[in-house]
Amino acid sequence: MSRLFGTDGVRGRANADLTPDLALRLNIAAARVLGATDRRTVAVIGRDPRASGEMLAAASAAGLAAAGAKVIDLGILPTPAVAHLTALTGADFGVMVSASHNPMPDNGIKFFAAGGRKLPDHVEDAIEAALDDTAPLPQGEGVGRIVRSVDPVESYIQHLVAVCPNPLDGLKVVVDPANGAATGAAPEALRRAGAEVVTINDDPDGLNINENCGSTHMDGLRRAVVEHGADAGIALDGDADRCLAVDAEGNTVDGDAIMAILALAMRDAGRLNGGVLVTTVMSNLGLHQAMSAAGIELETTKVGDRYVLERLAEGGYSLGGEQSGHIIMSDHATTGDGSLTAIMLLARMAATGRTLKDLASVFTPAPQVLLNVRVADKSVIDHEDVKNAVALWQAKLGADGRVLLRPSGTEPLVRVMVEAAEEPVAQSVAAELAAVVEHAHS
């Protein structure tokens, strides 16, 4: 039987894979595993604006209350804000109903432990096992209550502005919140920090989250930056835990480039603990080369920002992230925070007076091709033909290239990534490997 939890909580097609019944039972189980033993458990819950979040958040809150927890409903709020408020309120754990960058028909449920930290695998396994717990639920005064939080968005905005190291005066920025959870918070935080802000895709209706916008569809942001003569563009995803950027000429600045910029900024400020940047195996070879030239050590983890978080905690490091734009600054946040990333990136521009293109030039990416192969069974990556093809091409590419196949943690896909000294070579190898996966799958 496959594991219920993926790399970032439980996700699936809302009302098909992820039903209100599953949400209710999952939250009862979470309360039993994560809740207090000597007093009433307190849990906070937030969601992004997708339509199915209304029913799934209601079912989740009902499950928590059924297990006896006091539930603080935060309403629509970015994922990192839920993590922040889990810590700020002293809650025993937090719940976020969101499918992040996934399309609207999907939804998901993720949990934060006390302090706003993501759960390790063994705790998620314990929650999954507790789904079968038939212990009686509390009754009478033991049943939990659900209360609405008073203006949690303002608390989060104040946090973002407070950690900005210098004013953003003089910068004009276009923000694309992907019709998502940070539609109000991110632009307002940047304005209060001093930037002139233009917004696009800022009218969520429950159906348009991530639809041809945000960090997964950046063409509109590129055009808007050039049209408005902005210094930069910021692209968030639906729950605003990731951030990508666009320079004044419309060029994309991805997570690797952002990490390179922030690593140098933190090194210069004496805040890059251990002189280490933590990334996943998906980060480009060019980032390794740029950090080596700057005297910064780069450590890698498997894919998933929670694995980056684990390594940051283990090593006492202060910066890590993913190429996709999940950037974690552990001095200020317990998880990836797209709005925080945007503030820190723009603060570096304001402090140095340098353009984003100039700052990003420290990082020259090696040609990288990423193909998504849709499969019914992601274990196809262990097929002998697939493993042999990967080994063959890795040997042929040598030190100037890299091959990585991995199952998506949130979708029925196998991701094929190839880096090579020349892009046509990377494209050719990736296409061949994708064909091997498709053939083995059939």
- Bridge partners (DSSP) of residue 173 are 197, 232
Q: What local confidence, expressed as pLDDT, does residue 430 receive?
A: 95
| CA gap 359, 363 in Å, rounded | 9
Q: What local confidence, expressed as pLDDT, does residue 442 receive?
A: 63
Are 298 and 229 in a shared domain?
A: yes
Is residue 205 a known part of a binding site? no
Q: What local confidence, expressed as pLDDT, does residue 441 receive?
A: 72
Catalytic site residue 100? yes
Domain boundary among 360, 376, 403: 360
Is residue 73 a known part of a binding site? no
Are 184 and 269 in a shared domain?
A: yes
Is residue 48 a known part of a binding site? no
Is residue 2 in some structural domain? no
Are 159 and 141 in a shared domain?
A: no
Is residue 124 in some structural domain? yes
The least confident of 36-50, 148-162, 378-392 is 378-392
Are 337 and 192 in a shared domain?
A: yes
Contacts 24+ apart (CB under 8 A), 164-169: 164/193, 164/343, 164/344, 164/347, 165/269, 165/344, 165/347, 165/351, 166/347, 166/350, 166/351, 167/193, 167/194, 167/350, 168/193, 168/194, 168/195, 168/343, 168/346, 168/347, 168/350, 169/194, 169/195, 169/350
The total of structural domains in the chain comes to 3
Q: What local confidence, expressed as pLDDT, does residue 425 receive?
A: 94
238 within 8 A of 209, measured Cβ to Cβ = yes
Is residue 400 a known part of a binding site? no
What's the Cα-to-Cα distance from 401 to each of 73, 133, 420, rounded to whole Å? 48, 49, 4
Domain boundary among 299, 330, 360: 360
Are 304 and 414 in a shared domain?
A: no
Is residue 1 over pLDDT 60? no
Are 163 and 299 in a shared domain?
A: yes
How many distinct helices (H) and strands (E) make up the chain? Answer: 14, 19
Is residue 227 over pLDDT 70? yes
Give the confidence band of 155 by pLDDT, cuts at 50, 70, 90.
Answer: very high
| CA gap 190, 197 in Å, rounded | 7
Is residue 77 in some structural domain? yes
Is residue 401 in some structural domain? yes
Is residue 101 over pLDDT 80? yes
Is residue 1 in some structural domain? no
Are 284 and 264 in a shared domain?
A: yes
Are 81 and 226 in a shared domain?
A: no
Are 260 and 407 in a shared domain?
A: no
Q: The domain that contains 382 carries what CATH number?
A: 3.30.310.50
Is residue 298 in some structural domain? yes
What is the residue-averaged pLDDT of the chain?
95
* Residue range(s) defining the domain that contains residue 387: 368-441
Q: The domain that contains 106 carries what CATH number?
A: 3.40.120.10
The least confident of 78-92, 158-172, 244-258, 389-403 is 389-403
Are 293 and 162 in a shared domain?
A: yes
Are 227 and 280 in a shared domain?
A: yes
| CA gap 94, 212 in Å, rounded | 30
Q: Which two tokens stand for residue 128?
A: 């999954």
Domain boundary among 104, 135, 150: 150
pTM above 0.75, yes or no: yes
32-39 mean pLDDT: 96
Is residue 80 in some structural domain? yes
Is residue 215 in some structural domain? yes
Q: What single string gives the DSSP state of each residue in 148-173?
A: E-S-HHHHHHHHHHHH-SS--TT-EE
271-278 mean pLDDT: 98
Are 168 and 276 in a shared domain?
A: yes
Single out the catalytic residue among 52, 60, 98, 100. 100
